[in-house]
A and B are shown apart, each in its own frame.
Chain A
Amino acid sequence: MPAALPLLAACSGPQSVLDPAGPGAAAVATLWWVMFAGASLILLGVCGLALYAVLPRRRGRGLDAGRFLAGGGLAFPLAVLAVLLVVSLRAGEALLPHPGPRVVRAEGEARQWFWTFTQYDAAGRAIRTTDELHIPVGVPVDLRLTAADVIHSFWVPRLAGKLDAIPGHENLLRLQADAPGLYEGQCAEFCGLEHTRMRFRVRAHAPEDYAAALAGLRLTPTANPVPERSP
């Protein structure tokens, strides 16, 4: 379908939900395309019916209203919604941070208007970075999110859905990248004057390179200094 190519090209982008680079985002993208197709059909059907109904010559005067309402207003949405509910709940369940043997842990603390990430090397030593989280490819990473001042939200659309960082609460977000690379993220909860500038990145490393990358970060702690809190 060459006609669909420009459409697909329009769907890619450094922060595109429709250009997934990890299993979490991929599951949601699939869910979207299914819902998009279904919704388009329903929209066409309802609007088609409304347009048909205002035509001067048409059938429908002898319509059995009770059956029409029971079918279109009750049975049809009930069936569609029941299926969608089950599918979406199962999809959501699969995205949760279930415990597992290979899970890597990391931490992210948000404040106006930057993130401080903590990742751990093989020896368990903490390595802190600003606005750039380093993860290994192909393994689930559980990111513990906290906030120091107001509510922020961690969102790297190509990897996973968003989760809020709320003062006084801890939230756990499951991330996983399929390929090495840089994934753009942006704070998704309005957090004050420079909310717009609160951008950050996730850098995914091939498993064999991950230890070296962390070691490099440890050796150059000033590469990503933690800035003082802005006034």
Chain B
Amino acid sequence: MNALPPDPIRRHRALEAIWGTPPGLGRLAAVNHTVVGLRFMVTAFVFFAIGGVLAMLIRAQLATPGNTFMPPGLYNQVFTMHGTVMMFLFAIPMLEGLAMYLLPKMLGARDLAFPRLSAYGYWCYLLGGGFIILAMLLGIAPDGGWFMYTPLSSSTYTPGINADVWLLGITFVEISAVSAAVEITASILKMRAPGMSLARMPIFAWYMLVTAVMMLVGFPPLILGSILLEVERAFGLPFFDPTRGGDPLLWQHLFWLFGHPEVYIIFLPAAGVISTILPVFARHRLVGYNWIVLALVAMGFLSFGLWVHHMFAVGIPHMALGFFSAASMAVAIPTAVQIFAWLATLLKGRPRFDLPMLYLLGFFFIFVNGGLTGVMVAAVPFDWQVHDSYFVVAHLHYVLIGGFVFPLMAGAYYWLPHVTGRMPIYHLGHAAFWLVFIGVNMTFLLMHLTGLLGMPRRVYTYPAGIGWDWLNLLSSVGGFLSAIGFALFAVDMLLLRRFGRRAPRNPWGAETLEWAMPLPPPSYNFASLPPAESRDPLADRPRLGQEAAVGMHVLGTPRHGWMETLGVEAVSGRPEQVILLPRPSFLPLALGLATALCFLGLLLKAYWLTGLGLAGVLTVGWIWCWSLGARRDPARVAAGEGLFLPLHMVAPAQPGFLGMGLLLVADAAFFASLAFGALFLALVAPGWPPPALLAFDPWLSALGLAGLLAAPLATLLARASLRRGGTGACSWLMGLGALAGLLAAFAFAALPLWRGQDFTGHAYAATALVLGLYVALHAGLGAVMAGFTLARCRAGYVSALRDLAPRNTGLWQGYTALSGVAALLLLQLWPWLAAP
């Protein structure tokens, strides 16, 4: 079937013409996962440097007792920004970028499932992060601590714009986290090499799969909390105000429901890096692959059951704390399984002592130390003493530096030849290691004692003579040592990129697919997609890279300018469809800018800007979705190696459908958090039951319910008629669904608003309003989607086979109906719970 002769150079040129990112301003249109992944990582490293400078300011302030280097207001901004930048602008985006860069290459695909979505995520990250840093430069950075406890962060006690910068900026950035989670999950499940079953996936993909699913469920509680707090601050609707039926503890629950899984979301990808690199240097396959996969899944579940260990000192009954204490200790077990699997791999292998290995040994010491203090703070009475002291500061830095930074530095040296095509030389790398290793331990090992001697965190100074002086001074010296080390590491990376000697193909003798390509990698990754006949494809066929380059394998023939990659059946890895990916586009940037306008309007309380932004988002979103798809049913195409596969637009299990399902998983987590909040307030908050219940109009409820149920029903009927060939019937049924959606949106918005209620008086009314608006918003968006589908039907983009638009619309409407029924039940029943 080869239209081109098996000449790798010509094939390379043809593919590069299709997959390459345009030069000049065209770079702003980049959607390629290599480009976007690297952008994420480089940007994250810049934020790491900013966070590091902030850390040094903290250490300078605390180096001596009674220091007046910074006034308290500035110090509060600095430590808040240090935590915020490191968590939200460094760690999370760094792991997203790493996953985006590596996953398609390891899985034997040419790109991620939704390249434009990852580009959009990047713009949200850059613009949102830019907001926050700009605010810091203007001196109006958030100053309430990176977990923003209410009521301190409420408008009464933090009246300025500072807290709004945090709430809106972080929510903006989290769009990129949710989109990355959808992207990564869908890509791992659908876009792999032919024959790569789940059981044959490289272990890193398992780590990222668990991480991405955790992100889908873990970020929505934070997004909900931020929205509620911002609404409370901007419009006076109480959710956390104890004088009006709210509860500051609700914020803590929502924050840590996100915050603790987040620790594992940060750790797991780095552990995946270890599980990938360590076997290469141990020269032995990873021991206990199945054990590790089970441990990961266990960790994923457990990590959602231990958020309360951040709240041991808020006065929750001891019996309940016991449960969370047990869960917090139990999570050490899957960690121990991994540690012992790594030790076993080293023991059974013939380890080669290279620089990445040195960083891994550093990881072992620092991370195990952090894990052990983690078990200590899981013991409730001990936590009562050390909670919010420098002991906890030491613990969390051991975990995050040991569990994230060290593995990533090992990874940086390991994948350096992959990214740059240059081999590392080790002089500076060794010096950087020792500076960071000694510096980090000097800073934080001593800090355990500082905490035990009673120093609380977040104090801008301390008196002499309590025994904290010498410890803080040494911690500061250590901090500066590690900062020099990190700077040296950055210099080393730049120098190696420029002056390193050329790397040969697969320089480490690794066995995963990302090394079966020329270095640095071409934009299309593989000239033909190599098969995965085992977990270590390069071990079975060391010449797989050359075979792929001459087009021996799947999709080796560039045609029609198509950006083709393979879609597989999720479990077995059987080739199932040819996925045509969208070309580079300015739409992600446009959508990012429109989204930024929405957030800017909210921040400046210039709501006309937000309206303008929303109109922009809807317009660009419409154009974006319109630009995809086909106007006739394409025939099956030859994919090489005797495969004839359908194109994705006519494949039943196309990634777009999965993507919508995953988005709704995140949405359901958001709604579940909202329902949890409503019940929590009714059962725990002071000032309940509310002074007056809202009277919901039964006619409005019935109308809303009818609209909610009619919309997905109309779509079901539309799809049935589509299968019988009736595109016309499909059109008017979708129109009917759109009307039903509008009706439901109207009814649910009117339900709490009907009698001109006062929503600022009590959390009950405020929460009822949010529940009503949630459903109304979903019904309204469902109507827009039904309208879009109608237009697509009329323009000929929809057929019995090309049914993504009606299917996704139906899925959305079905979810809306479910959440709407749940919201109605909650609105009717929940006041009874609070009744005396």
Contacts and interface: CB of A to CB of B under 8 A. Distances in A.
B17 interface: no
B288 A65 contact: yes
B467 A13 contact: yes
A12 B380 contact: no
A54 B314 contact: no
A68 B242 contact: no
Interface in A122-143: none
A60 B340 CA distance: 13
Contact of A16 (B347, B453, B686): B453
A65 B461 contact: no
Interface size class of A (residues with CB under 8 A): 35 or more
B343 A46 contact: yes
A91 B381 contact: yes
A35 B382 contact: yes
Interface residues of B, number: 83
A162 B387 contact: yes
Interface SS majority for chain B: helix
Contact of B336 (A15, A32, A76, A168): A76
A212 interface: no
Contacts of B729: none
B656 interface: no
A8 interface: no
A121 to B, nearest CB: 28
B336 A166 contact: no
Interface string A141-183: 0000000011101010100111110111101100000000000
A208 interface: no
A38 B228 CA distance: 44
A39 interface: yes
Contacts of B313: 153, 161-164, 188
Interface string B445-472: 0000100111111111110001110000
A194 interface: yes
Taking each of A11, A87, A193, which has the highest tally of chain B beta carbons within 10 Å of its own beta carbon? A193
Contacts of A91: 379, 381
A28 interface: yes
B454 A150 contact: no
Interface string B320-333: 01100110011011
A218 interface: no
Nearest to A68: B344
A47 interface: yes
Which 3 residue pairs are nearest across A and B when measured between Cβ atoms?
Answer: A161-B384, A168-B242, A15-B454
Nearest to A196: B459
Contacts of A3: none
A189 B333 contact: no
Interface stretch (B370-378, B557-565, B606-614): B370-378
A49 B156 CA distance: 55
Interface of A: 10-18, 25, 27-28, 31-32, 35, 39, 42-43, 46-47, 49-51, 53-54, 60-61, 63, 65, 68-69, 72-74, 76-78, 81, 84-85, 87-89, 91-93, 95-96, 112, 149-151, 153, 155, 157, 160-164, 166-169, 171-172, 184, 186-196
A40 to B, nearest CB: 8
Interface in B331-367: 332-333, 336-341, 343-344, 346-348, 351, 353, 357, 361, 364-365
Contacts of B247: 168
Contacts of A11: 449, 452-453
A160 B385 CA distance: 7
Interface of B: 72-73, 76, 144-145, 149, 151-152, 156-157, 242-243, 247-249, 287-288, 291, 295, 313-315, 318, 321-322, 325-326, 329-330, 332-333, 336-341, 343-344, 346-348, 351, 353, 357, 361, 364-365, 368-369, 372-373, 375-376, 379-389, 449, 452-462, 466-468, 685-687
B385 A169 contact: no
A180 B383 CA distance: 26
B242 A43 contact: no
Contacts of B156: 149
B677 to A, nearest CB: 16
B386 A17 contact: yes
A73 B337 contact: yes
A27 B381 contact: yes
Contact of A88 (B344, B368, B381, B462): B381
B382 A167 contact: no
A7 B218 CA distance: 43
Contacts of A17: 385-386, 452-454
Contacts of A89: 318, 322, 325, 380
Contacts of B376: 32, 35, 39
Nearest to B338: A73
A90 B357 CA distance: 43
B157 A18 contact: no
Contacts of A162: 313, 384-385, 387-388
A155 B318 contact: no
Contact of B453 (A15, A88, A112, A163): A15
Contacts of B347: 49, 53, 60-61, 63, 68
A166 B242 CA distance: 9
A146 B202 CA distance: 54
Nearest to B373: A39
Contact of A149 (B157, B249, B372, B389): B157
B381 A78 contact: no
Contacts of A85: 322, 325-326, 329, 379
A194 B461 CA distance: 10
Contacts of A184: 454, 466
B346 A54 contact: yes
B456 A32 contact: no
Nearest to B288: A69
Contacts of B340: 68-69, 72-73
A95 B449 CA distance: 23
B381 A31 contact: yes
22 contacts: A14-B454, A32-B452, A35-B379, A46-B364, A51-B361, A53-B351, A60-B348, A65-B344, A69-B341, A72-B340, A73-B336, A84-B379, A96-B318, A149-B151, A153-B388, A161-B381, A163-B315, A169-B249, A169-B315, A188-B456, A190-B458, A196-B459
A8 to B, nearest CB: 12
Contacts of A191: 152
Contacts of A50: 343, 346, 361, 364
A20 to B, nearest CB: 10
A76 B339 CA distance: 13
Given A69-B340, A73-B333, A149-B151, A161 B385 contact: yes
A50 B406 CA distance: 16
Given A17-B452, A17-B454, A69-B337, A169 B329 contact: no
B365 A47 contact: yes
A54 B318 contact: no
Contacts of B343: 46, 49-50, 53, 68, 72
Given A69-B341, A85-B325, A16 B461 contact: no
B517 to A, nearest CB: 30
Contacts of A160: 384
Nearest to B147: A190
A99 B466 CA distance: 35
Given A50-B346, A92-B318, A188-B389, A39 B157 contact: no
Contact of B73 (A46, A65, A150, A193): A193
B336 A88 contact: no
B355 to A, nearest CB: 13
A25 B385 CA distance: 8
A212 to B, nearest CB: 30
Given A39-B373, A63-B344, A74 B318 contact: no
A190 B148 CA distance: 10
Given A54-B353, A54-B357, A76-B336, A18 B379 contact: no
Contacts of B351: 53-54
Given A157-B385, A196-B461, A81 B346 contact: no
Contacts of B333: 73-74, 77-78, 81
